[in-house]
Structure 1
Amino acid sequence: IVQRTTGCAMRLSILVLLSAVDETLGFTSSQSWNDRGIGKLQMSSSAGGAGGSATSVVSWEDLTQQIGQTAVGKALNEDAEQRLKGRGSPNVHNKMRLFDSKFSESKKPAITLFRDHAGWCPYCEKTMLLVEEKQVPLQIDLVPMRSYGDKPREFLRKVPNGLLPAIEVQGQVITESSVIMELLDRWHPTEDGYRPMMPDENDVSGQKKYTELARLERELFSWWCTLMFRPELPAVGGNMIKNLFGGGGEAMSGSMQGFMDCMKKVDSALADTEGPWFFGKEYPTMIDFVFASHIERMLASCAFWKGLDLRDSKWGMDSLIRWLDAFDRKPYFLAFKGDYYSTVLNIEPQYGPAYDGGFD
């Protein structure tokens, strides 16, 4: 594709990419491209046939060097250097996270997290969301999901079943995201300056609430799987009668109705707190991350296969929307959040084929 792209088209692609970064890095729309150094990007030309000239494509090395001289390029390169040291911004390709801890490149954390290299595993994602919010220092080893390639032999020697995520601590390997998240929370207590991610062991009502919410998340996931990965039957009974006799509303299949009813339970649970999060704290906790990674996939899949926009205000799930908006203001969530199109494409290799249905 690169070889078939003209220099002008390549330059346009770069401008579009850098324009998208502008807001994040603080550029204003009043700044011209030349002010930002973009106008200095040069494309080489060579004479074409008798009818005109042809434009050759600048090498990636030249583009990298030229972009690195711009304000945007310098900022990105500086951040990339910091990320190699375990600092810098959250990123799906980070190999180490040190935050403000005592660890360094020479004195690395004892915990190694194995997670998928593309950021498409929902269980790896929820684990990383907790790591970023709690700022747990650890090393990261990126491993392909089974859906996208063979796992390295070295990893399979440590984790024979190939499950992701996994952590290794002093030669001991532990799998299952929920177990890993609980252990990371327990190993980094509040007395050491870390935010708690779960209710205190002596908080009976908090523990009960967490258990109920965890069951609700599994119920929601079950309804989503039923809606997406099984043929959806036509709407029958009350829905059909309501529409035939002018009652209004959307006709839903049984699986759609079950999914929406369960999602409204989630909205009600969020409405019970003053803040956007499930436990009403000023920051999200473990149960928020447990829900977030799969609801992200529900938003994309429902829109694509079912014509259902869960963020539409007509469904009356204002607390859910408030929760989603609060996550979208978290840089680490945006670092792992996929766009709808990419998310839809990576669902089928992991879960199987989905079925069209829902609304037009």
Structure 2
Amino acid sequence: KQLLTQLETVNERNNYNLQLQGYGTTNSKSLKRLFDQSIDYKPNVILYRDSAGWCPYCEKIWLQLEEKRIPYEIIKINMRCYGDKPSEFMRLNPSGTLPVAIINNQVITESNVIMSKLEELFPLNNPLLPTLISNPNKYNRIQGLYALERKIFSTWFSWLTSRAAATSAGSMDYYLTILEHELSKDSSGPYFLGDMFSLVDIMFTPFLERMAASLPYFKGYEIRTSKFPYLLAWYEAMDSRETYQGIKSDYYTHCHDLPPQIGYCHSLEGSEQFSQEIDGEAWTVTRSPNDCFEPMIPKDEGIARRDAVRQSIYNHENLVKFCLRGVGSPGFPKVSAPLAGQKTN
């Protein structure tokens, strides 16, 4: 901790302290986000999201709130694969699903409805949808893009949990080619609606993020590649957004948190080079992060190392429990999510 204090910059230290108070850049630690409001401000939005940041539907709401800079409180709830949910949460939402939002005392339990309500109630906070009057061309594309997102999700999910090879790869090629075409339609910018970052991008983000990690790992199929140049430009544009940098997870986490959530993911022959890379079997101590398969954010090694140390200090109690888990006794009821990678003792 003393060494970190010596090495970190003043801006890094100030930002970290601001994050703990509800300000600063987007991050996973804060339990309240105040943006431009005073420290004693009581937000009208409460977001119940998963503790580990795994849930893709929670991610959509989280990113929307950050982009719109709507003050909100966070209550973290464990996912079902890690055991029973708190009784007070089950009283709020008997189905136990996440996310849940309380907006102006109204409980909403479906992610797309939450997103619509936030746009409706906070129209002056960075509007994330064009209107028919302001931009009819962009507006008229929205529903078709939403439908495409569901088709791509379905194709990815079906392939990930099946043993099919060539047929599913062909289906993925087909829909990603359509996706490329859609991204190429508006040359004003890299997003789905050109120069306008919108709810469409937010809808696509969680699963395109997980696809970039899981398809190489399990199927040996890359999508973040020059084969799909417009999609690659979209990924790079997303990575440049400060909000997304504070939310985005890593490839290793996605590849190991998906099976507990969706069931067994079948690996195909030819995926080993990617799984070994993502699992760290090909890593060396002296290897540069910029040489890794996964694009690194931030790209500056010093910032990345200091942030890793800072996160370890912040989360040290859970890290100690994690390291000592082998000396405990099995819990009850048994849950399905592993606590670590396959090679951890």
Q: TM-score, normalised by structure 2?
A: 0.73
Q: Does 1:118 align with 2:118?
A: no
Mean Cα displacement is larger for which, 265-274 or 332-341?
332-341
Query: What is the alpha-carbon distance in structure 2 between the residues aligned to residue 69 and residue 359 of structure 1?
Result: 45
Q: What is the identity percentage for the equivalent residue pairs of Structure 1 and Structure 2? A: 34
8 Å CA contact 2:45–2:73 kept in 1: the answer is yes
Aligned match of 2:126 = 195
Query: What is the alpha-carbon distance in structure 2 between the residues aligned to residue 267 and residue 355 of structure 1?
Result: 27
Identify which of 178, 185, 198 aligns with 2:112: 178
| SS of residue in 1 equivalent to 2:47 | strand
Aligned match of 1:269 = 182
Q: Does 1:291 align with 2:291?
A: no
Query: What is the alpha-carbon distance in structure 2 between the residues aligned to residue 271 and residue 358 of structure 1?
Result: 33
Q: Which has the larger radius of gyration?
A: 1
- 1:3-82 aligned at under 5 Å gives the runs 64=1, 66-67=2-3, 69-72=5-8, 75-82=11-18
CA displacement at 1:76 relative to structure 2:
4.7
Structure 2 residue identity aligned to 1:174? I
Structure 2 residue identity aligned to 1:121? C
CA displacement at 1:187 relative to structure 2:
1.1
Structure 2 residue identity aligned to 1:299? A
8 Å CA contact 1:68–1:77 kept in 2: the answer is no
Query: What is the alpha-carbon distance in structure 2 between the residues aligned to residue 119 and residue 286 of structure 1?
Result: 20
| SS of residue in 2 equivalent to 1:142 | strand
Provide, for residues 180-199 of structure 1, a one-character-per-residue CA deviation record: whole Å limited to 9, x for no partner: 11111111113xxx221123
CA displacement at 1:88 relative to structure 2:
0.9
Provide, for residues 227-270 of structure 1, a one-character-per-residue CA deviation record: whole Å limited to 9, x for no partner: 1111215xxxxxxxxxxxxxxxxxxx111101111011111111
Q: Does 1:104 align with 2:35?
A: no
Provide, for residues 199-252 of structure 1, a one-character-per-residue CA deviation record: whole Å limited to 9, x for no partner: 32656654431110000000001100121111215xxxxxxxxxxxxxxxxxxx
8 Å CA contact 1:201–1:207 kept in 2: the answer is yes
Alpha-carbon spacing, 1:177–1:159, altered in 2? closer, same or farther (3 Å): same
Provide, for residues 40-65 of structure 1, a one-character-per-residue CA deviation record: whole Å limited to 9, x for no partner: xxxxxxxxxxxxxxxxxxxxxxxx3x
Unaligned segments of structure 2, at least 5 residues: 272-345
CA displacement at 1:128 relative to structure 2:
1.2
8 Å CA contact 1:83–1:96 kept in 2: the answer is no
- 1:227-306 aligned at under 5 Å gives the runs 227-233=159-165, 253-274=166-187, 275-281=189-195, 283-306=196-219
Aligned match of 1:357 = 268
Structure 2 residue identity aligned to 1:217? E
Provide, for residues 297-324 of structure 1, a one-character-per-residue CA deviation record: whole Å limited to 9, x for no partner: 11111110111121222x2x11000000
Structure 2 residue identity aligned to 1:82? L
CA displacement at 1:75 relative to structure 2:
5.0
| SS of residue in 2 equivalent to 1:70 | helix
Query: What is the alpha-carbon distance in structure 2 between the residues aligned to residue 92 and residue 122 of structure 1?
Result: 14
Aligned match of 1:39 = none
Structure 2 residue identity aligned to 1:261? Y
Q: Does 1:334 align with 2:268?
A: no
Alpha-carbon spacing, 1:69–1:297, altered in 2? closer, same or farther (3 Å): closer
CA displacement at 1:89 relative to structure 2:
1.4
Q: How many residue pairs were aligned?
A: 269
Query: What is the alpha-carbon distance in structure 2 between the residues aligned to residue 267 and residue 359 of structure 1?
Result: 25
Identify which of 318, 321, 326 aligns with 2:229: 318
Alpha-carbon spacing, 1:77–1:153, altered in 2? closer, same or farther (3 Å): farther
Alpha-carbon spacing, 1:149–1:173, altered in 2? closer, same or farther (3 Å): same
| SS of residue in 2 equivalent to 1:308 | coil
CA displacement at 1:73 relative to structure 2:
7.5
